[in-house]
Amino acid sequence: MNSSNQDKVECHITYDPNAALEFFKLFGSVESAKAGETFFVSGQKPGFFSFLQTDKTYLLLDGTVTVQTVSGNLINLESGQVFGEFTPYTASNATATAGTACKLVALSEKQFIASLKKQPTFLFMLMDVLIRTLPKIGTATKDTPPPDNKSSKNSSVLSTEMLNTLKQKLGENALMNVPEKRVVFHEGAAALLMYVILEGQMTISIDNKVVGHSGVGDIVGEIALVARRHARTASVIAETRCLLLAIDRQILPELIQSLPTFGISLLRVLDAHLNAIKRNL
């Protein structure tokens, strides 16, 4: 891939309901819901006997939806807003109920991936939506890692197969060897790249206080890269010798279009990192 192409789209794109509609209409199906109907329940897992479709992402066309978060907050969604698997309001952390009769467009994960191949920049709109859920206290670009969780569907760690595919697509020029104790980026620095960890362990600190660690298969630096403010609010240091894949914001749309499953993984990594930040606020 040639990251020098000046025509590539910047990845920080403000959410646009009309663009969302175009994205959902590519492969989605129109559904309706009666007032009081539940879309998903906090903590609900898909199963053979479950009538709830927890793997769907919805665009609300008409009506209202009420989302109750695990903390008890009530959020009223209106026409043009998205909710579900790849948004802040998922089955793992919220309950969504139709406040009135609703008309929606729904995408399964498979359909979502197919739509990403056509319109990869929509992913950055969802990232913008996710990042905006952070409290506005100057923490919107912290590059804090999530807890280790390599076994669940929503794991923040990229698979070995994904890592090998990324290495092949990005090529040798994207590889970075980082010696032990070397600073990858400083708090307050400009955010030009994000990094996928291929080998080694990294330490994340804020105000000279260690707040977490990241290892093989994790990503660091993606929040500040996507956020409007590009200054890093965390420092990342190589705890051991590390091998990284460096990815800049211009190459991301092309990368996601050719490898949409990476886009899904990036969303999940971002969501896990943001949840970690909220727990540390």
CA-angle at 28, arms to 24 and 29, nearest 5°:
130
Amino acid at 253: P
Q: Which CATH class is domain 160-280?
A: mainly beta
- What pLDDT is stored for residue 81 in this prediction? 94
Give residue 83's Cα distance to chain centre: 14
Predicted confidence (pLDDT) per residue in 187-242, tens digit: 888 888 999 999 999 999 888 888 889 999 999 988 877 765 567 878 999 999 99
What number is the average pLDDT over the span 256-276? 86
DSSP states along 24-38: HHHH-EEEEE-TT-E
Query: Tokens 């990368």 map to which residue?
Result: 255
The mean pLDDT of the chain is: 82
The answer to whether the beta carbons of residues 261 and 158 sit under 8 Å apart is no
Q: Please report, rounded to a whole number, the percentage of residues in the chain having pLDDT higher than 70.
A: 79
Q: Is the pLDDT of residue 115 over 90?
A: yes
Structure tokens at 199: 């080998």
CA-angle at 132, arms to 126 and 136, nearest 5°:
170
Distance from C-alpha of 155 to C-alpha of 166, rounded to nearest angstrom: 18
Backbone φ and ψ of 167, nearest 5°? -60, -45
Give the pLDDT band (50/70/90) at residue 2.
very low
Closest by alpha carbon to 262, among 167, 184, 173?
167
pTM: 0.78
The answer to whether the beta carbons of residues 180 and 241 sit under 8 Å apart is yes
The residues, ordered by sequence, that sit 6+ positions from 273 with a Cβ below 8 Å of its Cβ are 143, 144, 145, 146, 156, 222, 223
More confident residue, 276 or 84: 84
What number is the average pLDDT over the span 137-145? 40
Q: Please report, rounded to a whole number, the percentage of residues in the chain having pLDDT higher than 90.
A: 52
Beta-sheet pairing, 202-206 with 175-178: unpaired
Same fold, 17-131 and 160-280: yes
Predicted confidence (pLDDT) per residue in 65-84, tens digit: 999 988 888 999 999 999 99
Question: Taking the CA atoms of the chain, what radius of gyration do you get in angstroms?
Answer: 19
Query: Where in the chain are the domains?
Result: 17-131, 160-280
The answer to whether the beta carbons of residues 77 and 66 sit under 8 Å apart is yes
CA-angle at 91, arms to 88 and 96, nearest 5°:
80
Q: Which CATH class is domain 17-131?
A: mainly beta
Structure tokens at 41: 């329940």
What number is the average pLDDT over the span 108-127? 92
3-state percent helix, strand, coil for the chain, nearest multiple of 5: 30, 25, 45
